Amino acid sequence: MDKKYVIQSNPFKVPTTDGKTILEHFGLASTGDSGYSIAHMIAPPDWSEPFQTPEFEEITFVIKGRKQFTIENKRFVLGPGESIRISGNTRIQYANPFEEPCEYLSICIPAFSPETVHRETD
């Protein structure tokens, strides 16, 4: 991009089948940026994803609610105002086993890609 700034007022809504809301502000799906992605997410109560081993680094900042992280057999729970940085090629499971939704920001470096997330299947 040649511009000194870009205002994003129309993020890409990623289609999901698990009730999670994903609004990608910058990244491959929204702006074609491959160096990083940033998304605003809301995970519903009792939500979880399969384990994955993404190639990218991911930073999560929790805005509201709580989010559970299972990283290489250790479980962590983060609440509002807390953040975590997870290196690429780390096996992880994201979940919200709680009764309230969890709102958070996710930053991936390089950008999130379905081809590099490596989700485990049943």
Fold classified for 12-114: Jelly Rolls (2.60.120)
The continuous run of DSSP H or E covering 79 comes out as: none
pLDDT per residue over 48-84, tens digit each? 999 999 999 999 999 999 999 999 889 999 999 999 9
Q: How many CB atoms within 10 Å of residue 76?
A: 11
With 90 as the cut, is the pLDDT of residue 122 above it?
Answer: no
Q: Left (φ > 0), alpha (ψ -120 to 50) or beta: where does 55 sit?
A: alpha
Global pTM reads 0.93
Q: Determine the pLDDT at residue 121.
A: 84
For 95-111, how does the pLDDT look when each residue is reduced to its tens digit (9 = 90+)?
Answer: 999 999 999 999 999 99
Cα-Cα end-to-end distance for the chain:
41
What are the residue ranges spanned by the domains of the chain? 12-114
